[in-house]
Structure 1
Amino acid sequence: MQLATLAPDGSPTLCTLTYHATFAPDRLHFVAHVDRMHARNLRHDPRAAGTILTPHGQGTTFTGTATETDSPDPVHLAPGERVFHIDITEWLLFDESTHPGQPRRVIPVRWR
């Protein structure tokens, strides 16, 4: 996924991360080192946005709020790594192949 965060001066930053998705509630999980720019940015301002694309050009964008959490399995984290999750506030699906006239669709977020 591509993750956009805001630096303390308000400038946007973008990074590529591996993620794990869970649903009900809709949440994206990722691991980041405490010194990485996106981890520092999220501690300052938890708002996040991003994109997840398939190799076939379909994709989704999302907005949400990130939280640094305790790892369910700290043994598998390297020193300095932390687990973050993003609670999704909106999904926007882009799929021209299935919806050629209206490729952008807001997808409802599933909460608890």
Structure 2
Amino acid sequence: MDERELLEEYVRDAKLMQLSTVCGDGTPTVCTVWYLPMFRPDRLYFVSRTDRLHSNNIRRNSAVAGAILDDPPVELGLTARGVSFTGRARQLPGVGIDELARAFVGRWPNAAGVLDAMPEGASRMFEVVVGQWVLFDEKNFRGGPRREIDGI
């Protein structure tokens, strides 16, 4: 498997991502969200209330970064694998995204009620367009585990 295939498999299998946004005063902040990955083009989707800090930050400044860690080692010194990324995020409209909403509910069935309540509901789907990935994989690339992979 090449590094791109490993990256896609890892991101597809993981469940949560940590997303960093920038507050109005320039202070970074991090949240954790359930996500839906799509590749070629590389996109990450999540659902959040529009009044959350990270939602407000994204509307003000689209620059984001994040990390996905699915299977952390239980002890220092064991091999690790994880993914980080940088990109741009935006809030999607509450209508006209039926296919994305179905895909999200297919991965996270408990989100159905939230997505069915759009556009009147308090939540929206957000899209992260990944500009660059970093795959850190000590298991498959022991000699040089950091692999920068451009978003497609």
Distance 1:108 1:46 in 2: 18
Shift of 1:35: 0.7
Task: Verify: 1:50 aligned to 2:66, yes or no.
Answer: yes
* Offset of residue 76 of structure 1: 5.2
Query: Which structure 1 segments of 5+ residues have no match?
Result: none
3-state DSSP class of the match of 1:51? strand
Moved segments of 4+, more than 3 Å:
none
Runs of 5+ unmatched residues, structure 2: 1-16, 73-79, 99-114
User: How far is 1:70 from its partner?
Assistant: 2.2
Aligned to 1:14: 30
Aligned-partner SS, 2:139? coil
* Structure with higher strand content: 1
1:54 & 1:103 partners in 2: Cα distance?
Answer: 16
> Which is higher, the Rg of structure 1 or of structure 2?
2
Q: Which residue of 1 aligns with 2:135?
A: 93
Structure 2 partner of 1:61: 84
Measured against aligned partners, the alpha-carbon deviations of 1:74-98 in whole angstroms (never above 9, x if no partner) come to 4255821011000000000000111
Alignment pair present for 1:34 and 2:57: no
Q: Please give the TM-score of this superposition, normalised by the length of structure 1.
A: 0.91
Residue 56 of structure 2 aligns to a residue whose secondary structure is helix
Number of matched residues? Answer: 110
> Within the alignment, does 1:75 sit opposite 2:116 as a pair?
yes
Q: Is the helix fraction higher in 1 or 2? A: 2
2:145 pairs with 1:103:
yes
Q: Which amino acid aligns with 2:133?
A: W
1:67 deviates by 1.1
| 3-state SS in 2 of match to 1:17 | strand
Report the TM-score, using the length of structure 2 for normalisation: 0.68
- Percent identity over the alignment is 41
- Cα drift, residue 59 of structure 1: 1.0
- Provide the rounded CA distance (Å) in 2 between the counterparts of 1:109 and 1:8: 27
